[in-house]
Amino acid sequence: MIRTAISAMLLASAAPALAEIHSVAPGEGAQERLQEALILAEPGDEIVLAAGRYELTDGLSLDVDGVTVRGAGMDGTVLDFTTQAGAGEGLLVTSDNVTLRDFAMENPKGDGIKSKGADNIVYYRIRVTWTRGPHPENGAYAIYPVESTGVLVDGVKVTGASDAGIYVGQSDRITVRNSIAEANVAGIEIENSRNALVEHNIATRNTGGILVFDLPDLPVMGGGNVIVANNLVVANDTANFAPPGNIVAGVRRGTGIMVMANEDVLIENNILSGNPTAPVMVIAYVQPYDDERYNPLPRGVVVGQNTFDGGGYDPQLEGGEMLKAAFGGELPPVMWDGLGSLYVTGDAPGWSLNLTEQGKGLGAAQPAPLAAPAPEAEFDRTGIGAPAELEARLSR
Amino acid sequence: MKFGTASLLAASLLLAGTVIARATPPPEQYVNDAAIMDGGLPRLLSDYGFFADAPAQEPVPEVHPYRLNTPLYSDGADKFRFIYRPAGAQISASGEGLLDIPVGSALIKTFAFGEGKDRRLIETRVLLHRADGWLALPYLWNEEQTDARLAVAGARIDLTTPRGEAISYRVPNKNQCKECHGLDREVVPIGPKARNLSGDWLEQMVAAGHIDRMPQGADRLPLWEHRGKSSVEDAARAYLDVNCAHCHRPGATASNSGLDLRWEQDDARALGIMKRPTAAGRGAGNLLFDVVPGDPDASILLHRMIVNEPGVAMPELGKATVDEEGVEAVRKWIAGMEPR
């Protein structure tokens, strides 16, 4: 009855403040109580998680549009999956217009939070931590939106993912900002996605800081229109601890910002320091492939003004010592494999492998200082980033 | 165990025969159509009136038992499957795929462990075809085994499998039902595809007027207990279709993996052959490709069937033990492929 009344009022005024609140507290039966709240919520409702530690044995899931899940802060409300016995992730979201905010997930057995086909999702001040630090048996992704249009990740903190801390895959209209990615294999990864803005983040102690990839054999390909700007990318020097089968297992320790394949990527106003293989790396997809829909080359990648504190001083590259010696003791900060098209504004020093063929390894490399032209036109920023409506949700 | 399963199935099939024989004259209406169609969530399985004797899993006359040629593995549970269609609406069949089951119908599946008087009914899952689409609900049997109660949040039950493994059996929550039954954002049935249904059963259902016609391509998947009579490829592909392809196909939960394990898929890369993993994480183990022809131990697909650990094990839901028979079938298939 109350429900009917509220629904009617909602319809009349469209005021989200009138939505029903479902309060959940930690303790006995938390798994069932929390999951029930997630199932019985109606569009517009809010699920409020009281402070405390929730011992959870199974993955949670949300499949109702327009629900907010709100904790008492990323250090106050902790969903603890240390004894998780089933499911592929801690929380799975499959509905649209969901807001997740102010709680933490610890030690999920698979991924942390996965949202699939969940349009217009907000992750705000969420923490996902594998508490033992880097370990190959940690889950793959901490924050994992995929196949979604409209993704805002803001103020999150991710640590210990054995693949990528923040991984956005096969999605469109994305913003990842104000977040900290620490001690993951990849700090932040944008894969097979378009219109992504990655700004004001800190990526540190990862194997690679920020990666922008496009891979073959996936339902969604053709990644591009990506801006990586105003990030602090420092001391990404953790040895790669990814299981070998994964694409990030090939990321070299000490990679700052890396673009593989993709078109129209802008890298500017970042501060890069202590990334011993390459502060910036722009390369083609490295494996052979036979997917006709796929373009393996980086096209229209622009390295704008960035602040480099040194370059590749301890490169994890074949012949690294010789290369270092050839370049006077340290590799210049921008590394390109010579395939596709790269533009550099200003005077960022770089070097190129001058490869001429994709997928043939480094055998034909002829390393030399980088000679890349200045961009032909202003970078087109139209339509890049999450829809404004998502940001408006943060103040509620 | 095998013998027990076979005899229970035989009993189900016999029962199907008698039910159809009794279908003329029209039976008294037992099933509560309002419970199926109404907007609410019925609290008890008995609210639907599907069973004349629920503890014995004996259905009322309008509820028809069936089996699948190749079933989904669920820790060795015995399963009792039933289909109900409302008066005045017919199930229609076209190709080898899913039967077109009309609004007002229900699919019912009960999971049980143990033999004879030790048999314990654990859960009954129902799929209700309402006007706004299919709804999947899990019901948990009570200690007394008299009725099952709605458990939207699922449950965990300690039990011992037929192979003697003590497990914590997971009853899925309502959302987890959709993880397997979701396709293009709708909930759909998975099991009753013509290719995986007995030709005899289909003929009886057509003769009794429950199904409009005999579909083309029926009864193609091997009868699992007789899979030795089929090709190694058919047995493995049937297994993958039934156990994996509800997620690993376009439009479903694992679509982003790019792996498509449906029976009708014939593209080698889509089937995982020399395909690199997408988002497998540590699930990939130390391996590079989903399927390496001739080398099952180097194939991620098999690895994830063998390792029984959350985050690695596939399927992610609905099983807590390794399916040795399925592993063997898939291993043979990969081993028999021409190495590249």
pLDDT digits (tens, 9 = 90+) for A173-188: 999 999 999 999 999 9
| Residue A319 is assigned to a structural domain of this protein | yes
- Give me the pLDDT at residue B5, please: 42
* B255 vs A contacts (CB less than 8 Å): 147, 219
Beta carbons within 10 angstroms of residue B237's beta carbon: 26
Q: Closest CB to A245: pick one of B154, B155, B280.
A: B280
- Give me the pLDDT at residue B117, please: 87
**pLDDT over 80 (residue A373):** yes
- Give me the pLDDT at residue B268, please: 94
As a whole number of angstroms, the distance between CA B123 and CA B139 comes to 5
Q: Does B278 reach chain A within 8 Å, measured CB to CB?
A: yes
Name the residue in chain B with its Cα closest to that of A108. B311
Sequence length of chain A is: 396
Q: Does A117 reach chain B within 8 Å, measured CB to CB?
A: yes
- Residue A28 makes CB contacts below 8 A (sequence gap 6+) with none
Average pLDDT over residues B58-83: 96
Q: Which of A137, A135, A174, A184 is nearest to A152 (CA)?
A: A174
Q: Do A217 and B279 make contact, defined as CB atoms within 8 angstroms?
A: no
* B277 vs A contacts (CB less than 8 Å): 245-246
As a whole number of angstroms, the distance between CA B58 and CA B36 comes to 19
**pLDDT over 70 (residue A13):** no
* B316 vs A contacts (CB less than 8 Å): 86-88, 110
φ and ψ of A42, to 5 deg? -115, 160
- pLDDT band with cut points at 50, 70 and 90 for residue A15: very low
- Give me the pLDDT at residue B21, please: 43
Q: Do A116 and B253 make contact, defined as CB atoms within 8 angstroms?
A: yes
- pLDDT band with cut points at 50, 70 and 90 for residue B28: low
Average pLDDT over residues A90-114: 97
Q: Do B170 and A63 make contact, defined as CB atoms within 8 angstroms?
A: no
Average pLDDT over residues A191-197: 97
| Residue A10 is assigned to a structural domain of this protein | no
Q: Do B256 and A163 make contact, defined as CB atoms within 8 angstroms?
A: no
Q: Does B320 reach chain A within 8 Å, measured CB to CB?
A: yes
Q: Do B316 and A88 make contact, defined as CB atoms within 8 angstroms?
A: yes
CB B42 within 8 A of CB B51: no
Identity of the residue numbered A218? L
- Give me the pLDDT at residue B11, please: 43
Q: Is the bond preceding residue B25 a cis peptide, omega within 30 degrees?
A: yes
CB A196 within 8 A of CB A227: yes
Provide the domain limits for residue A147: 110-395
Q: Does A7 reach chain B within 8 Å, measured CB to CB?
A: no
* A138 vs B contacts (CB less than 8 Å): 282
* B252 vs A contacts (CB less than 8 Å): none
As a whole number of angstroms, the distance between CA B122 and CA B104 comes to 26
Q: What percent of chain A has pLDDT over 70?
A: 95
Domain spans of chain B?
2-207, 224-335
Q: Does B168 reach chain A within 8 Å, measured CB to CB?
A: yes
Q: Do A94 and B170 make contact, defined as CB atoms within 8 angstroms?
A: no
**pLDDT over 60 (residue B22):** no
Residues in B 219-258 with any Cβ partner in A closer than 8 A? 250, 253, 255-256, 258
Q: Closest CB to A36: pick one of B152, B289, B300.
A: B152
The encoded tokens of residue B95 equal: 């190709």
Q: Closest CB to B153: pick one of A32, A84, A217.
A: A32
Q: Do A40 and B154 make contact, defined as CB atoms within 8 angstroms?
A: no
The encoded tokens of residue A312 equal: 């590749």
Q: Over the range B79-88, which residues count as b (16 or more CB within 10 Å of their CB) and which as e?
A: bbbbbbbbee
Residues in A 48-67 with any Cβ partner in B closer than 8 A? 57-58, 61-63
CA distance to partner chain B, nearest, from residue A148 (Å): 11
- Give me the pLDDT at residue A288, please: 87
Average pLDDT over residues A323-351: 94
Q: Do B256 and A219 make contact, defined as CB atoms within 8 angstroms?
A: yes
- Give me the pLDDT at residue A305, please: 95
Q: Does A82 reach chain B within 8 Å, measured CB to CB?
A: no
- Give me the pLDDT at residue B18, please: 42
Three-state secondary structure call for residue B43: coil
| Residue A8 is assigned to a structural domain of this protein | no
Q: Closest CB to B152: pick one of A39, A246, A287.
A: A39
* A218 vs B contacts (CB less than 8 Å): 256, 258, 278
* B269 vs A contacts (CB less than 8 Å): 217, 290-291
- Give me the pLDDT at residue B29, please: 55
Q: Do A170 and B153 make contact, defined as CB atoms within 8 angstroms?
A: no
- How many domains are contained in chain A? 1
Q: Rounded to 5 degrees, what angle do the CA atoms A275, A278, A283 make?
A: 140
* A111 vs B contacts (CB less than 8 Å): 281
Q: Do B156 and A57 make contact, defined as CB atoms within 8 angstroms?
A: yes
Q: At what angle do helices B2-22 and B199-207 cross, to 10 degrees?
A: 20
Q: Does B265 reach chain A within 8 Å, measured CB to CB?
A: no
- pLDDT band with cut points at 50, 70 and 90 for residue A18: low
